[in-house]
Structures are given as structure tokens and as C-alpha cells.
Copies of this chain bind each other. A is one copy, B any other.
Amino acid sequence: MASTDVLSDRDASGVDVRDLMADIGRRAKAAALVLARTPSGPKDAALKAAASALRSGVAEIQAANALDMDAGREKGLTAAMLDRLELSDARIEGMAQGLEAIASLPDPVGAVMAEWDRPNGLKLQRVRVPLGVIGVIYESRPNVTADAGALCLKSGNAVVLRGGSESFHSSRAILACLRQGLEAAGLPADAIQMAPTTDRAFVGAMITATDFIDVIVPRGGKSLIARLSAESRIPMFKHLDGICHTYVHAAAKPDLAREVVVNAKMRRTGICGATETLLVDRALSESLLPQLVRDLIDAGCEVRGDETVRKADDRVIAAGELDWQTEYLDAIISVKVVDGLDDAIRHINTYSSQHTESILTEDADAAERFMNEVDSAIVMHNASTQFADGGEFGMGAEIGISTGKLHARGPVGVEQLTTFKYKVRGEGQCRPK
């Protein structure tokens, strides 16, 4: 696949990607104005029609997917990457059900978040409205096309999708179903558009298209997101990494701690809410610590620890400074013994990616201090960090989990894809001198 510099104006075939982006952007803005005044009915109808189109389009989608799979094999993608790329019958049905689930969520747009009157008779309301146009930049998984397109539509936003080159044909086939859904509901198909090129130069055009795109949602590996952060001129809802901690406090219930620690690390090691570092109170270094280490090793986890942890079990590998900074996303955990609550909070506020941290304790005061003083999007008491997920929070599908503090922190669902405006109603009030 030809690739040019991300900040180049032209793609490999000489097309000016800024002109391309401006054309797409103008159509997206026009569609966004229509969507902003569209009630729930047609938006939900479009999502359901798109689900039907996915189901009746299985053959076309799989034919497109076969092109990507063949190219992937030729390119030497790993078995895991090919698996992520493949659109089986079950996965297409899963996407269709995902669209229907998003259709059934409450519509965030139009909700009155607050209202009050002023002494001069002015009536104020703070009302939820769509953001406008959202740019989503993602890597290989083609199902993101359906999820991201549907979440943006439900929240009344137009979206410009830029998928990975490996899933280009698959994503375009899914896009066609989403646009069929929009048209069936009488909505502008341009509400969901996709970059017509996989050239990286288009990404550069997107992240600098301040006239057309209100927010960029990057989904992908840390290096993609770091690069986009450095170059984007548009605000991003970014999720850099999930270096999540579980802290076993001196007053933890041993059985609860054993069960939660293994679940937090090992239920799924590849999700951002998986615990990467276990902190154990020094008071437990001769009692619970050796048992926790055995449990993890028995569950198939590699344990890297400080000196005290290595004394607890001779299978423990020495942890270095880098381990406290690493999101393994694998069956590996770093374990550190800390000198009480303050030391645990200090370690977390130094090394955490501000995603999700949990304290295990029966001491309610310690739990409150931990939850107040740890500066992360999600803080937990006596629960597995693996619950860090919009669906598990009851917020419905999410487009990611933001580790930034502005606008959307934590799970980014339909509500987080909106903003608000103030409506002020008067009877001719003038402001006095």
C-alpha cells in the first residue's frame, strides 16, 4: 500500500487530500444541520434499516471481506490480525444486533439538562445538542465502521470515518449498509461518509480540518494516537493506554482479594481495563502476598515483582522501572509492595494512565481516601477493573474510554458525543447600563 507523509497535501496518486477533505467536510456539515433537527424516530429507523441491510447483504459483505483477507494473507498479516479482520456470519449478525441496541438507547439530544429563571424574567435552559461532525480514525477491525457510524448517528452527529487500509473493502461494504439505512429513513446519506482513500495523507487532512470537524476520535494503538495527538489541530477524545492498578490494602478480605485480583488481570488480558500493576500492602507481604502470586502464576500469568515480591515466590521475575510504565495487554503483571495507602496513591498518581484503579479493603475510610485522591477517570472499591466499560456501566455502547479530563472522561457513549447550548427566552428585556 502506497503511503506518503501524514502532513503532505497530496496522496500517492496526486489527489489533493485537502480538497477531498473539504468536499467531504462540506457535505458532512450540511448533513449535520439536518441531523441536529431530526427527532429520534427517523434516526432509530435508519439504524434498524441498516441492521436489515447488513443481514440481507451478508454475501456482498463477505465478498468484500474476502478481498481484504486475501490481501492480508499476501501482506503477511498474523493469524490474530486475520482473525480480527474476518467477518463471519456470526460477526455480521453481531454488528446488526449492535445497531439495534444503539437504536434502543435513549436519545440524548434535546434533553433539558438544567433550567432556571432570572429576577429580570429571563428564562434559561441548558439543552443537549449534537457536537456536529465527528472524525473517527481507526485501525484494522472493520466492525468499528458500524459501531462508530451508529453511535454518531444516534447522537445526531455526522461522521467522517477513516478506517485502516487492511479492512478497506470490508468497511466500504458495511458503510453501504449504513447509508442504505439513512436513505430508507429519509435522512441524508452524507451523514456517514468514509475516506475514499487509505492514504495516510488523508489522515493529515482530517486532523487539520478545523473548519469541518468538531472532534476527532482516534481508535487504535498507542503509537497511532500519540502521533495524532502531536499533529491534530482538532480536539480529540483520546484513549492513550490503560495502565490500571489494583491495590490490596492491609484491611482487604483475603478471599475477595484473591478472586478479584485474578479476574482483574486474567479474565481478558487484552482489554484496556485489565489490571497491569498489582500493589500489595507491606502488612500483607508474608501473609496474602505469596498466595496472590501463586494464584496469578497458576492462572498462567507471568509475575514481575520488586525484591519483596521475589522473596515471596522464586518464580517471580525482577521488575524494572519500565514495568511500572507498561501496559502489557498480555498475561504479564507487575507487582509492587507499598508502604500503606499514601504510598499506593503516590505510585498510582505517578504511573497510572488515569484510566481505572481499584482498592480492595474492608476499611471504608481508606476506600474513600483512595477514591478521592487517585486522579483517574474511574476509581473502584472492591470490584474488578475489568468492569471499566460503557456497557458494564449501563451507558450502552461506547466509542472508547477517554483518559483525558475534558468533556468526555471515561466511557464515551452517545451522551458524551453531544454538547449543549443555552436557550434564553425573554419578553424584550434590555440589559441596564
Residues of chain A whose beta carbon lies under 8 Å from any beta carbon of chain B? 33, 36-37, 116, 118, 122, 124, 129, 131-132, 214-215, 229-230, 233, 235, 253, 256, 259-260, 263-264, 267, 349, 360, 367, 371-373, 375-384, 386-387, 392-394, 404-407, 409-410, 419-431, 433
Contact = CB atoms under 8 A, between A and B. Distances in A.
How many copies of this kind of chain does the complex include?
A: 2
A405 B263 contact: no
Given A131-B405, A132-B405, A422-B377, A263 B36 contact: no
Nearest to A389: B431
A116 B426 CA distance: 36
A377 B420 CA distance: 7
Contacts of A367: 425
A431 B384 contact: yes
Contact of A375 (B132, B260, B383, B384): B132
Given A259-B430, A371-B423, 4 more contacts: A377-B422, A383-B429, A384-B430, A409-B420
Contacts of A422: 377-379, 393, 410
- For the residues of A in contact with B, the DSSP-based class is mixed
A328 to B, nearest CB: 18
A406 B260 contact: no
15 contacts: A37-B372, A131-B405, A215-B405, A256-B427, A260-B429, A371-B423, A375-B421, A376-B421, A381-B423, A381-B426, A382-B427, A384-B430, A387-B424, A392-B431, A406-B407
B379 A423 contact: yes
A431 B375 contact: no
A79 B267 CA distance: 70
A379 B116 contact: no
Nearest to A378: B422
A380 B422 CA distance: 8
A215 B430 contact: no
Which residue, of A229, A267, A419, has the highest number of chain B Cβ atoms within 10 A? A419
Contacts of A264: 430
The 8 A-B pairs of least Cβ separation, nearest first, read: A383-B426, A263-B430, A256-B428, A407-B407, A386-B431, A380-B424, A406-B407, A405-B419
A430 B131 CA distance: 35
B379 A33 contact: no
B382 A426 contact: yes
A122 B404 CA distance: 24
A417 to B, nearest CB: 11
Contacts of A215: 405-406
Contacts of A37: 372-373
B429 A33 contact: no
A118 B390 CA distance: 12
Contacts of A131: 405-406
Given A214-B405, A377-B422, A423-B371, A428 B382 contact: yes
A383 B256 contact: no
Contacts of A263: 430-431
A382 B425 contact: yes
A334 B184 CA distance: 43
A429 B392 CA distance: 12
B371 A33 contact: no
A425 B384 CA distance: 10
Contact of A426 (B380, B428, B431): B380
A306 B429 CA distance: 28
A321 to B, nearest CB: 17
Contacts of A425: 367, 380-383
